[in-house]
Structure 1
């Protein structure tokens, strides 16, 4: 009887979701909007921060919405079996095909994790599934177009991001082919995330809603962080980083891991940091979709913590190297 009562109390305990937090912040913004506007207007620094935040949010939102719709459509209407049928038997070639398939099956980082897991379960080589995991959120058309819009007049940033991200996916896939071990990935748990009785439109709505809430929350966080950087960090710090390319590359790589931005919106955050050279900002764009705190948590749930302990640090290093090399060749050390 005691366990049953405990379960009943647990089930009746209210939970706080991201929707509750979003609704609360929205209500607070509506109620205190005029007071906040007056407060911001009294400070030039706050006006600058508000301008940065608004600019990033307004520019990134259309691409975020488009990415969410595409990701939801893939979850509902595209089966991983489609990719499995075209993957070559040769594992080395399979990595190349799966990496390039990221252009045809775009989606956010969050959606790429379960898709990659399903690919493994359907017989696709692990190395190929991991290449798809890294390429799909980074080289799809939505991400590349958003990068072009965020960096007008700098087409090299689009090419360098494509090459750096694709190189990261291929190198990690081929490294797994050579050194990876099956026991590093946990056995598949019971699949509770796919209901065969659910209609495709219901799947689309639920996937799009979940992606929008999660990606939207990280966009707000990232835009706020970028605005805060403009407010609290003195100009001499950015000037020092601008003169220390290696240090600025490392700082931007770590920032990408911490901010965990959606790949459809991260280019606008990077573009706002115009006080830094292009190369460190490119590293930010390549590292972010490959490894961040959000992805590590999702990968731990799908593949196991042992996998993340090996895969994430190596991906971090490979992404920095690939981004730096491709960026130096395309845009130079500027």
Structure 2
């Protein structure tokens, strides 16, 4: 009965998600000519920003949910136990290095991390993977290099400061949390299925089913986060944030706040960050480039849907404080 109700809710949530996207992409334009002509221009700006965030994020979420489905059906707890070192520092270091080679955005990485944690990956190791995956993967570093006029300096600083911050954040988490921190206990229990005993074709079918469930589960939170981010971008002027000060510390905090609110895809945020070079120091732009991929508005909502609120709040605080300190330290280098 519970499984039937869950499937029913997932199906209708998926229909709602798809219907909302179709509305914004097509019917909004059609109805605008009929009876929505009196809507303010800001509504259409909101529509455009909302769609751009979704279009950026959805391909990476799709990649993420298929990888999560693969992990669910083809990776067992024994595989995890063999791969993850027992030593905390080594486990965190390995997860940060692996994440650095993984092309995912901050939204697409969430379903992968959830599945890894459910399979037995320690929460602190999962955090290292969660933070470095969207931040210093090859695509992000290449886009940063190009956005700053083929200058290797900013790309190198982003990679170095980002890796150091992720390592420190994951190690800090290891002292406060030992359990998996998933909201639902059945998530962890579901990882104990003997999937390896099933036939290969059957496992592929189950992988697709898990991927679809994961997509609709994550998709509704992605849409909520994208809409809130689009609303704030539309009705809160970015330049007004700089009224609070233009010193190094003030501008660094402001650029971190801006990265959080804009919720940009990490593969494209360097081009936006480069546009602020005439307004703020390079150190503050570096904060924008490091902080946004680690935590932003839309992926905070996604994290809250998966992990316990206390863990997400603690992670948010550690990311904010440690990234700020690491960025300020780089200004002396």
Equivalent of 2:176 in 180, 184, 199: 180
* 1:315 aligns to 2:311 (yes or no): no
Partner of 2:132: 135
> In the aligned structure 1, how far is the partner of 2:329 from the partner of 2:306?
31
Partner SS for 2:107: helix
Partner of 2:199: none
Partner of 1:99: 96
> In the aligned structure 1, how far is the partner of 2:220 from the partner of 2:143?
20
Contact 2:173 2:315 in 1 (8 A): no
Partner SS for 2:186: coil
Cα drift, residue 283 of structure 1: 0.8
* 1:281 aligns to 2:281 (yes or no): no
Partner of 1:43: none
Partner of 1:4: none
Partner of 2:67: 74
Equivalent of 1:165 in 162, 165, 168: 162
RMSD, aligned α-carbons: 4.4
| Structure 2, unpaired ranges of 5+ | 196-201
Cα drift, residue 255 of structure 1: 1.9
Equivalent of 1:190 in 161, 186, 194: 186
Partner SS for 1:102: helix
> In the aligned structure 1, how far is the partner of 2:20 from the partner of 2:208?
26
Partner of 1:302: 306
Partner of 2:198: none
Partner SS for 2:101: coil
Equivalent of 1:260 in 248, 258, 263: 263
Partner of 1:271: 274
> In the aligned structure 1, how far is the partner of 2:289 from the partner of 2:132?
13
| Higher mean displacement: 263-272 or 136-145 | 263-272
> In the aligned structure 1, how far is the partner of 2:301 from the partner of 2:57?
21
> In the aligned structure 2, how far is the partner of 1:119 from the partner of 1:188?
14
Q: Deviations over 1:290-313 (max 9, x none)?
A: 223333333333331121232211
Q: Taking structure 1 as the reference length, what is the TM-score of the superposition?
A: 0.68
Cα drift, residue 140 of structure 1: 1.6
Q: Deviations over 1:95-137 (max 9, x none)?
A: 1001111023332223433433433343333321221121222
> In the aligned structure 1, how far is the partner of 2:220 from the partner of 2:84?
33
Distance verdict in 2 for CA 1:329–1:199, change over 3 Å: farther
**Aligned ranges 1:36-115 → 2 under 5 Å:** 67-68=60-61, 70-78=63-71, 85-115=82-112
**Aligned ranges 1:199-218 → 2 under 5 Å:** 199-201=206-208
Q: Deviations over 1:182-237 (max 9, x none)?
A: 3693574223999976444565677678878976897798688668777x847xx8
Contact 1:80 1:118 in 2 (8 A): no
* 1:28 aligns to 2:28 (yes or no): yes
Distance verdict in 2 for CA 1:74–1:183, change over 3 Å: closer
> In the aligned structure 2, how far is the partner of 1:72 from the partner of 1:183?
23
Q: Taking structure 2 as the reference length, what is the TM-score of the superposition?
A: 0.69
Alignment length (residue pairs): 302
Distance verdict in 2 for CA 1:168–1:133, change over 3 Å: same
| Structure 1, unpaired ranges of 5+ | 1-6, 41-45
